[in-house]
Chain A
Amino acid sequence: MPSTHDWINEPLGVAEGMFAVSQSSQATGWEAKVVEFFKDQLKEKEAQTAVPSLNDVPLHYLKPDGLVKFRCLVQDMFDPEFYMGVYETVDPSTGAKTLRSGRYKDVAECSVDFSSKHTVTVERQTFYCVPIPGENPWVKEMYAGASQARVVPSTSYVPSRQKRSYEDMDVQPQKQRDAQAGSPSPAEPHGNGDCKRQETEAPSGQTTTASHLDLNFPLPGEKGPSCLVKVYEDWDSFKLNDALEVYGVLSVSPALSALADEKDALLDPSGCMETAEEQRVHSPPASLVPRLHMLYAKRLPHNNPLLPCTTPQDNSAFFSSTLAEMASVRAELHSFFTRVLLGDALAAEYLILQLVSTVYSRRDVLPLGKFTVNLSGCPAVASYAERLYQIIQQLVPSSFYLAMSLQNMNRMRLVPKKDYVANRLVSGALQLDKNTSLFLDETRLEQGQLDATGVRNVTALGNLISWQKVDYDFSYHQMEFPCNVNVLVVSEGRSLLPSDCHVRLQPQVAPVTMEEYVSSIQVHPHAASQLNKFRIYLSVARLLDYSISDNVTKSVEDDFVDMRKDDPQSVSAEDLHRLLVVARLLSLSLGRTSLSRDTWLQAKHMEAQRRSRLEQHRSVNGNEP
């Protein structure tokens, strides 16, 4: 069997070896054997980390035809292509014929004998993959730090860098405020950090400044390689917007770029089949968009580097240990959030619930478990909302900040749209991985008129919140794609968007000192270990299972009936829905996988508090709808 070095550096050699064996022994199924082999090799965590990752190693440091991994999101699916699965080559000098396999390759060797009887045409599928949109810098750096593949000695991924970029961010609040509305400002400082890093690591200037080539990232201001992943098996099981970790053979042959074909276009009858634009999109230069021939891919249940990449069932040891200390971590997080939310303990509770919510099931059209919180009454001073986002950004693996300014709503593309000229799905900001936190900043609203795009965008946000789905625009028809995005709406008054739960913020800070207080909110750099605890906590709580025992069901039912008896107007079916979600999230946030009577009462109490707060506010401020 080949050594570690071999299968990482020359995976094609392994595949070819197996192909040759199968040819001589007339055995079939060598493809399965190859996949099996790599799956076996990659079982060990060490082996996985030894594979260089496209996410954090610049492309030009990677060995062509070597094994790489890529953490990505399926952004678009191209049409299946037919390739020569098996073909015969003729040696021009000796005339000897050899059978070769075209699997995991883009370009066939010279002097292919086209009239050979042994040629076999096979189908494969191409996915256009981008790095997970909105993946926060801490996630990227931690993954990079865990990687053992030191391709180039000079490249160092010291985790301490991470702090530096945070400091950058903290000393430049002014700059953030001035940042362009088009690209969400908090992303800006990281961009700076990235640039710096790239300067040190990639002196040859392999910055992804492909001005003429739109790499089609869902979110503005994103960086990173995108990739054409060729899938050989079972491609029907992959879905659009799946987050994957792909292991595959890297192919960067310059022959792949569309530009190489250009001169040929006149002569080649196949050249005029596609428009120039389409060619540019479907065969971009391999130096910018490498090809990746998938050997093996796994779906990522989450993209938190601190968690083992498995489900709770498979890794019970890790999860039971975290479960034990969940309650204490929650308490810490709660006090932290209380401070951040200007001393409002109730809002802090709801913020925790919002962060651990996830759509766990769908009953016909109804998504269950979604929990969109509208945090109203946010002070408009000192860009409070942005600060809040920066803190959330430190805690969740991926997030996106959308300032709902008039300009943004009218200009941004939120809904992905099919571009028939280039034959691709042009991404929009709502093409997000599951469990991405979407932060809608409504404090940035201003007076003005929404145009047609703006109205569509607001409708799309509304649909996302109420049904957890996005209708992708296919021009002649729309297609519905379910999603699972945590939405937090921050606004001054009640939000114009629907929400599951409206919490009125009650700052405990005197308005005079507000500005000072707000600018003092930040993540302390020394609290890295605490931060990690929070990060693990939030991700784990999302993955837990949940149940309600029969007698609790009974008591919940009784409770509901009693509440209705007192005042039928006060509690509707919708309220019960919300109560059940709150109870569920509350249990999970405490690390309990089944609902207890206490938690139920606590949930009821929280809801009552929240409602009375709204009532109070309404009576103070009569015109609140």
Chain B
Amino acid sequence: MSSPASTPRGRKRGRSSNPSTPSSRGPTSPSSQRRRGQDSSTGDLMPMPVSPATDMLSPATPQDTSLFSSPRPSVLPNEVDMSSPLMYGTPSSRVEGTPRSGVRGTPARQRPDLGSVRKAPQVDLHSDAPSADGGAAASEPNAAQRLVIWGTDVNVGACKEKFQRFLQRFIDPTSTEDENAGLDLNEPLYMQKLEEISVVGDPVLNVNCQHVQSFDAEMYRQLVCYPQEVIPTFDMAVNELFFERFPDSVLEYQIQVRPYNALKTRNMRSLNPEDIDQLITISGMVIRTSQLIPEMQEAFFQCQVCAFSARVEVDRGRIAEPAVCRHCNTTHGLALVHNRSVFSDKQMIKIQESPEDMPAGQTPHTTIVYAHNDLVDKVQPGDRVNITGVYRAVPMRVNPRQSNVKSVYKTHIDAIHFRKTDEKRLHGLDEEAEQKLFTEDRVQTLKELAAKPDVYERLSAALAPSIYEHEDIKKGILLQLFGGTRKDFSQTGRGNFRAEVNILLCGDPGTSKSQLLQYVYNLVPRGQYTSGKGSSAVGLTAYVMKDPETRQLVLQTGALVLSDNGICCIDEFDKMSDNTRSVLHEVMEQQTLSIAKAGIICQLNARTAVLAAANPVESQWNPKKTTIENIQLPHTLLSRFDLIFLMLDPQDEAYDRRLAHHLVSLYYQSEEQMEEEFLDMAVLKDYIAYARTYISPRLSEEASQALIEAYVDMRKIGSGHGMVSAYPRQLESLIRLAEAHAKVRFSEKVETIDVEEAKRLHREALKQSATDPRTGFVDISILTTGMSATARKRKEEVAQALRKLIQTKGKTPAMKYQQLLDDLRGQSETAITKELFDEALRALADDDYLTVTGKTVRLLA
């Protein structure tokens, strides 16, 4: 629990709780009847080339300049008092009479996101100011440069100058943000952005707080601690600079600075009273947005008697209605005119902690966010966002008549900047959003772990320790968790290469396939778990539904899209309907998902690795049959799996004994004992996350040679028996596996050992799944064409035999089907099934030798 520091907080609380006595101030502060706090900054634009409007107002000019040009003391060295930063926020009173269009025709826009800045030091201006100055700075000689905004240590002049310097000089050559795409990284970044503003005309300057921090830590601290004071200062600075640079550009209103990425707070859960009134950045998910709320900024009153009008600014939700008309002195003659009052847009947004940030066993926290003006409707429910804003606390009142106060504050965030974290997922990689923050220590531990020679074995042992043995399968899944390196060949027209490794587990029921899937699902941050039986095609891909609230058609994404950049675990793969399975074809190779329904035609990214489990059709694996025959899956789909493992009951005594030991120990060992034996799940998680984000290995020269050799070898093995045992797809699999293995080692280079392991694993998997039960040879064509080469050969033979049979029959243009089959059966030594016969007929028909119509076979030609 934290009790925040005293001074600034005390002041702010005092301010925010004043409304009990608004009447005392209302009429006495004419200054508050001015319009815009930030009209002030227009004053700074004076020395610029003038427009007619400025000429007209020239009398006001010197005064304004004197007031607000403190950052240039050389110009007006002795106007110290008047340029006191204390005046900031309330200077509008000075420029009374200035028409709304302002000097440059660029009106400032209110920043309700920063609250009512102008009210801050007002009361203290005359009474407390001397003492405040005295306390804070005046003891120093040359107090002019030392003046600070009351309650803070911010000197407006210095701050403005610093910020301008920052804008002019800051260069970040290593910037990878997509927002900076197209900018010259060796030129001052923000000057280019200003240029962009002058071209585009969108007067918003987003400033990365990280940049501010690296440029000037002191300025960053001030920004974070006193956003309410510092950001308007930044605004002033930026506008000065901008109009100096681009005197001719016309903006709708003045540029507003929007800082983002303040590293003060990352997590909603860690918000505490110390963060009140500070600049914070938190991440979360939007769960609700309200309707647009028009919030009155300025009330317009008109006297019923003399039609004299008065404007009153809204002060913390209250309007101090003028009791007396200043013009005709009628009491209570003023009426509010709604459509001449000024309103600003406001929206309430609820955000909730993202599930990843939450400790187990707790419910997510929510926070209220207010968006103002153009930030309204920027986000939709369901969006993951990073919000930068000012954290506020307002006391709750029990009853307005008694000043009895519930001792509780209501908190909310005034949003300054939204950054959608999943916005770019549709366009490309978003490493930054994925990036988990690792502490130095953690990175160190991970690296130490990676340096161990047996890290691969260790990690695979740590994977689902409750599941016994199946070492190779675990290794395969481990590689799947790491994934290959993403390669982009879109320039050469091939698009993205799949980097994800797909794995299929098939085998006897009760061999803990589901458990493995559950484990993986729990391990990866963006995993999805579905069961083939319960999922439909739309459930996997996306469906269009009518949003009950907005009555608009919205696209709801399914499991495959949701597990983009993650792993989609599909249990009971075999139980899936063909229709459903067919959507997987695109996902598993192209890694995209095309949707065309209800007027929505789009392509979504689904860069997901698929981990599927299938049971054999006959409930028990039949070793006499091929994989395809056992699980009855289309070979087109099977060939998209990099690794297909069989999980069979080994039925051997030594295995049984080890298994029994393993299980028994599961039931009596205490948890601590088990922890010791294996790596912590959290470490494993971090290890994977780290490798996935930071390591992208490339093939070394030797490795590519080794890969080529491996591929050629694989082709050779088959060619001896007249079968093909490898296709380019297998080569791609090998590359992916080798890359993943390099990632396990935290190596930026794929080396020969990686290739060796990839080869070994691939061979193991093939041995299990692509062995032709008739010959005992590994035959990849089982997976690629659904038929082993021997079976194909047999088909050929039967077709030849049939042709011969027909030829011996002489010139009979038509034959009975059954007759032919019986003849062939009588002739052949081996049994000929009807299917085989049909296939033979079809083969002959393909050669245009005969046609089959109903029960008759006709010869052609």
If A122-B3, A553-B664 touch, whether A256 touches B361 (CB-CB below 8 Å) is no
- Chain B CB within 10 Å, residue with most, of A112, A236, A274: A112
Q: Does A102 contact B (CB under 8 A)?
A: yes
Q: Output the least CB separation between B589 and chain A (Å).
A: 28
Kindly identify, within residues 1 to 34 of chain B, every residue whose CB is under 8 Å from any CB belonging to chain A: 1-4, 6-7, 9-11, 13-14, 17-18
B667 and A83 within 8 A (CB): no
CA distance A131 to B285 in the complex (A): 32
Question: Which B residues are CB-close (under 8 A) to A595?
Answer: 668
Question: Which B residues are CB-close (under 8 A) to A447?
Answer: none
B663 and A576 within 8 A (CB): yes
The one of A76, A121, A365 that contacts B522, using a Cβ cutoff of 8 Å: A365
Binds A, one of B44-52, B408-416, B471-479, B757-765: B408-416
**Residue tally, chain A, CB below 8 Å to B:** 89
Q: Does B307 contact A (CB under 8 A)?
A: no
Question: Which A residues are CB-close (under 8 A) to B512?
Answer: 573
Q: Output the least CB separation between B609 and chain A (Å).
A: 19
B348 and A119 within 8 A (CB): no
A107 and B404 within 8 A (CB): yes
Q: Does A565 contact B (CB under 8 A)?
A: yes
A115 and B13 within 8 A (CB): yes
If A123-B1, A553-B664 touch, whether A116 touches B406 (CB-CB below 8 Å) is no
Q: Does A36 contact B (CB under 8 A)?
A: no
Question: Which A residues are CB-close (under 8 A) to B367?
Answer: 79
CA distance A105 to B381 in the complex (A): 36
The one of B382, B400, B410 that contacts A270, using a Cβ cutoff of 8 Å: B410
Q: Does A460 contact B (CB under 8 A)?
A: no
If A115-B17, A122-B3, A476-B287 touch, whether A423 touches B366 (CB-CB below 8 Å) is yes
Q: Does B846 contact A (CB under 8 A)?
A: no
Digit string of A84-125 for contact with B (CB within 8 Å is 1, else 0)? 111100000000000000100111111110111111111100
Q: Does B674 contact A (CB under 8 A)?
A: yes
Binds B, one of A134-142, A206-214, A261-269: A261-269
Q: Does B734 contact A (CB under 8 A)?
A: no
Question: Which B residues are CB-close (under 8 A) to A241?
Answer: 361
Q: Does A306 contact B (CB under 8 A)?
A: no
Kindly identify, within residues 254 to 288 of chain B, every residue whose CB is under 8 Å from any CB belonging to chain A: 271-273, 276, 285, 287-288
Binds A, one of B388-396, B635-643, B833-841: B388-396
The one of A84, A269, A273 that contacts B368, using a Cβ cutoff of 8 Å: A273
Q: Does A45 contact B (CB under 8 A)?
A: no
Chain B residue at minimal CB-CB distance from A105: B407
CA distance A236 to B4 in the complex (A): 21
B518 and A365 within 8 A (CB): yes
If A123-B273, A560-B660, A561-B657 touch, whether A240 touches B515 (CB-CB below 8 Å) is no
Q: Output the least CB separation between A523 and chain B (Å).
A: 35
- Chain A CB within 10 Å, residue with most, of B285, B364, B656: B656
Binds A, one of B441-449, B461-469, B698-706, B712-720: B461-469
CA distance A122 to B272 in the complex (A): 8
Chain B residue at minimal CB-CB distance from A365: B518
Question: Which A residues are CB-close (under 8 A) to B431?
Answer: none
If A77-B362, A475-B287 touch, whether A117 touches B7 (CB-CB below 8 Å) is yes
Digit string of B307-341 for contact with A (CB within 8 Å is 1, else 0)? 00000000011100000000000000000000000
B668 and A233 within 8 A (CB): no
CA distance A556 to B382 in the complex (A): 53
Kindly identify, within residues 112 to 169 of chain A, every residue whose CB is under 8 Å from any CB belonging to chain B: 112, 114-123
If A553-B661, A564-B656, A576-B660 touch, whether A477 touches B6 (CB-CB below 8 Å) is no
B361 and A120 within 8 A (CB): no
Q: Does A195 contact B (CB under 8 A)?
A: no
Chain A residue at minimal CB-CB distance from B667: A580
Q: Output the least CB separation between B427 and chain A (Å).
A: 22
CA distance A353 to B705 in the complex (A): 62
The one of B11, B399, B519, B649 that contacts A364, using a Cβ cutoff of 8 Å: B519
CA distance A119 to B9 in the complex (A): 9
B9 and A121 within 8 A (CB): yes
A77 and B363 within 8 A (CB): yes
Question: Which B residues are CB-close (under 8 A) to A361?
Answer: 671
Digit string of A239-278 for contact with B (CB within 8 Å is 1, else 0)? 1110000000000000110001100100111101110000
Chain A residue at minimal CB-CB distance from B363: A77
Digit string of B280-307 for contact with A (CB within 8 Å is 1, else 0)? 0000010110000100000000000000
B402 and A120 within 8 A (CB): no
B350 and A420 within 8 A (CB): yes
Digit string of A565-580 for contact with B (CB within 8 Å is 1, else 0)? 1001000111011001
Question: Which A residues are CB-close (under 8 A) to B671?
Answer: 361
If A106-B406, A107-B405, A361-B671 touch, whether A420 touches B288 (CB-CB below 8 Å) is yes
B13 and A364 within 8 A (CB): no
B293 and A272 within 8 A (CB): yes
B359 and A121 within 8 A (CB): no
Q: Output the least CB separation between B559 and chain A (Å).
A: 12
A573 and B659 within 8 A (CB): yes
Q: Output the least CB separation between A538 and chain B (Å).
A: 21
Chain B residue at minimal CB-CB distance from A261: B398
Q: Does A392 contact B (CB under 8 A)?
A: no
CA distance A260 to B667 in the complex (A): 57
If A82-B408, A363-B666, A556-B660 touch, whether A270 touches B396 (CB-CB below 8 Å) is yes
> Chain B, interface size: which category?
35 or more
Kindly identify, within residues 651 to 696 of chain B, every residue whose CB is under 8 Å from any CB belonging to chain A: 651, 653, 656-657, 659-661, 663-668, 671, 674, 681
Q: Does B808 contact A (CB under 8 A)?
A: no
CA distance A108 to B10 in the complex (A): 17
Kindly identify, within residues 506 to 526 of chain B, every residue whose CB is under 8 Å from any CB belonging to chain A: 510-512, 515, 518-519, 522
Question: Which B residues are CB-close (under 8 A) to A459?
Answer: 534
The one of A123, A482, A561 that contacts B653, using a Cβ cutoff of 8 Å: A561
Question: Which A residues are CB-close (under 8 A) to B404?
Answer: 107-110, 255
CA distance A548 to B673 in the complex (A): 14
Question: Which B residues are CB-close (under 8 A) to A76?
Answer: 363
Q: Does A474 contact B (CB under 8 A)?
A: yes
Chain B residue at minimal CB-CB distance from A556: B664
B287 and A365 within 8 A (CB): no
Question: Which A residues are CB-close (under 8 A) to B495?
Answer: none
Kindly identify, within residues 557 to 604 of chain A, every residue whose CB is under 8 Å from any CB belonging to chain B: 557, 560-561, 564-565, 568, 572-574, 576-577, 580-581, 584, 595
Q: Does A319 contact B (CB under 8 A)?
A: no
Kindly identify, within residues 518 to 576 of chain A, every residue whose CB is under 8 Å from any CB belonging to chain B: 546-548, 553, 556-557, 560-561, 564-565, 568, 572-574, 576
The one of B406, B518, B674 that contacts A107, using a Cβ cutoff of 8 Å: B406
A267 and B348 within 8 A (CB): no
A268 and B664 within 8 A (CB): no
If A114-B17, A115-B14, A548-B664 touch, whether A467 touches B518 (CB-CB below 8 Å) is yes
The one of A273, A561, A568, A576 that contacts B649, using a Cβ cutoff of 8 Å: A568
Q: Does A61 contact B (CB under 8 A)?
A: no
- Chain B CB within 10 Å, residue with most, of A109, A110, A557: A557
The one of A119, A240, A455 that contacts B10, using a Cβ cutoff of 8 Å: A119
Q: Which 3 A-B pairs have the closest CB atoms?
A: A115-B14, A269-B317, A239-B361
26 CB contacts below 8 A, A to B, read: A79-B366, A82-B408, A107-B405, A108-B405, A109-B404, A112-B405, A115-B13, A116-B10, A117-B10, A120-B3, A121-B9, A121-B393, A123-B273, A233-B1, A264-B400, A272-B293, A273-B348, A365-B518, A474-B352, A476-B382, A479-B355, A556-B664, A557-B661, A573-B510, A573-B663, A584-B667
Known contacts A77-B363, A107-B404, A365-B518; can you find 14 more A-B pairs with CB under 8 A? A82-B408, A82-B411, A108-B404, A115-B11, A115-B14, A117-B7, A121-B409, A123-B272, A239-B362, A240-B363, A264-B397, A481-B361, A553-B661, A557-B661
Q: Which residues of B are in contact with A by a Cβ distance under 8 Å?
A: 1-4, 6-7, 9-11, 13-14, 17-18, 271-273, 276, 285, 287-288, 293, 316-318, 348, 350, 352, 355, 358-368, 381-382, 393-400, 402-412, 464-466, 468, 510-512, 515, 518-519, 522, 534, 649, 651, 653, 656-657, 659-661, 663-668, 671, 674, 681
